[in-house]
Amino acid sequence: MKRRNLLRGLGLGIAGGLAGGQSVLANENGEKPWNRGMAPLKITKVKAIPTCPHGIELIVVKVETNDPDIYGLGCATFRQRAHAVVAAVNEYLDDFCRGKDPDNIEDIWQTSYVSSYWRNGPVLNNALSGLDQALWDIKGKRAGMPVYQLLGGKTRFAVDCYTHASGKSIEEVADNVSKFMEQGYRHVRIQLGGYGSASLSESPDFKNAGFGTQEDNYLDSHFYLNNVPKMFEAVRKQCGEKVALLHDIHERVKPLEAINMIKKLEEFRPFFIEDPFSPENMEYFELLRQHTTVPIAMGELFNNINEFKEPMVRRLFDYIRIHISQIGGITPAMKVARLGEWFNVLTAWHGPGDVSPVGHAANAHIDLAVWNFGIQEAVNFSETLQEIFPGSPTMKNGFMHISEAPGLGVEINEKLALKYPLPDKFNYNWTQLRKNDGTPVRP
């Protein structure tokens, strides 16, 4: 009672002191200062905009509102099931979201997440990401601020990135690392051939026997496991200590093979080794930690942010390798990033070519804001992509820079995007990998 009397004395009425639940700061129309000039909005349409200018299926979601000037864009790219994501957006999220208030991002995320009852699949998560990122874009535009400001502002001037150096021989990999260092890169991922030497091997027995298809890839794990330490040694010898070296195992070898190889890489001081085990083999992390202190990145195949919780708390890996559209957008990614701060787990968002420029911008906005940023995967957009997506992030001296326009800062030329329709058929080649006898390998 004392506190209420004090507030009344100060003219700050509560609990009935003001009519109609008005805030003490509201004007006679009930508008709070931070909302003046921000009329309530309603979502009028949620639609998928697919585009495929370079043979890589990209999907962006556009959320329209009753104010024709205010709309948002978000990345929903899942190239392996692009048509299914388009249907999930156009046939379900559109209907579910119409009439809702786009300001309520968390509420819309939570209710959309359970709107199918069964959840966490990559198709629905990517559709949800497109919606979520578009809502953050709208909020930034309404606030007149880039999204990173809404996440706490900058803790660094730009986003430090690593780029990819590969080659058909160890010498070619080392030469490519030198070239990237000349361009200003301080972090380079080194891969010999494709992942696990897929593109280097001779014709395997399964193909000669007519097993599988002629397009299937072959994993020669013996060649791979022997040559990766030699590649690290050669690159260190040629390029010195100034460059940080990364490598992606891509889950393709047996867990103990991965552990033994990582132990051999210790002397070359890797920045991190990525994806030593498939998500089906999480129990091996404890054994890995008992045998080596090489930093580990993990998680691009995780569907659900709950998959990160226990490994992070137990400090089983060091970098969060989230594919942000795959886990449902900025809203869940921020929760994992903030949790990481408590356990010295740093961010390293997945940033491959099958993420739209809107998605790369979303990665970078979080990168700029969170304290426990680790590293970002570099991306250089073609002229065509920059034309379709004006305001796309740019690279300079190994740093990613983003547009300072309000929201995520990336626009879309819808007409141009639609000139590059999704192909009817998907090329399964990249995911199809076999051992010499034809046994399928999990990528």
Scanning 246-404, the segments in alpha helix (DSSP H) are: 255-265, 284-291, 306-313, 330-342, 357-369, 383-388
Chain positions 141 to 160 lying near Mg ion, rule: CB under 5 A, are none
Choose between 378 and 417: whose C-beta lies nearer to Mg ion. Answer: 378
Choose between 248 and 307: whose C-beta lies nearer to Mg ion. Answer: 248
Q: SS3 string of 208-247?
A: HCCCCCCCCEECCHHHHHHHHHHHHHHHHHHHCCCCEEEE
Considering only the stretches 109-117, 139-147, 260-268, 272-280, report the one whose residues sit in contact with Mg ion under the rule CB under 5 A. Answer: 272-280
H/E element, 189: strand 187-192
Choose between 135 and 333: whose C-beta lies nearer to Mg ion. Answer: 333
From the CB of 433, what's the least distance to Mg ion, in Å? 14
From the CB of 297, what's the least distance to Mg ion, in Å? 8
CA 48 to chain centre: 19
- Please indicate whether residue 319 is annotated as part of the active site: no
Q: Which two tokens stand for residue 28?
A: 């006679």
Q: Is 386 exposed, middle or buried (0-12, 13-18, 19+ CB in 10 A)?
A: middle
Choose between 158 and 249: whose C-beta lies nearer to Mg ion. Answer: 249
Applying CB under 5 A, the site for Mg ion has a residue count of 4
CA 114 to chain centre: 22
Choose between 274 and 367: whose C-beta lies nearer to Mg ion. Answer: 274
Considering only the stretches 150-158, 267-275, 370-378, 381-389, report the one whose residues sit in contact with Mg ion under the rule CB under 5 A. Answer: 267-275
Binding mask 278-317 for Mg ion (x = CB under 5 A): ----------------------x-----------------
Considering only the stretches 208-216, 229-237, 266-274, 411-419, report the one whose residues sit in contact with Mg ion under the rule CB under 5 A. Answer: 266-274
Binding mask 229-258 for Mg ion (x = CB under 5 A): -------------------x----------
From the CB of 218, what's the least distance to Mg ion, in Å? 20
Which residue shows structure tokens 């080392």?
174
Choose between 109 and 272: whose C-beta lies nearer to Mg ion. Answer: 272
Q: How far apart are CA 316 and CA 254, in angstroms?
A: 18
From the CB of 271, what's the least distance to Mg ion, in Å? 14
Choose between 64 and 274: whose C-beta lies nearer to Mg ion. Answer: 274
Q: How far apart are CA 288 and CA 435, in angstroms?
A: 24
From the CB of 250, what's the least distance to Mg ion, in Å? 6
Q: How far apart are CA 182 and CA 242, in angstroms?
A: 12
From the CB of 251, what's the least distance to Mg ion, in Å? 8
- In contact, 249 and 189? CB cutoff 8 Å: no
The CA-atom distances, in angstroms, between 370 and each of 341, 397, 404 are 9, 22, 17
Which residue shows structure tokens 């990998």?
433
Chain positions 31 to 70 lying near Mg ion, rule: CB under 5 A, are none
- Please indicate whether residue 195 is annotated as part of the active site: yes
Per CB under 5 A, 137 contacts Mg ion: no
Q: Which residue has the closest beta carbon to Mg ion?
A: 248
Helix axes 255-265, 221-239, angle to 10 degrees: 20
The CA-atom distances, in angstroms, between 365 and each of 127, 172, 313 are 20, 34, 25
From the CB of 14, what's the least distance to Mg ion, in Å? 53
Which of 250, 323, 360, 365 is flagged as catalytic? Answer: 250
Q: What is the binding site for Mg ion (CB under 5 A)?
A: 248, 274-275, 300
Catalytic residues: 195, 250
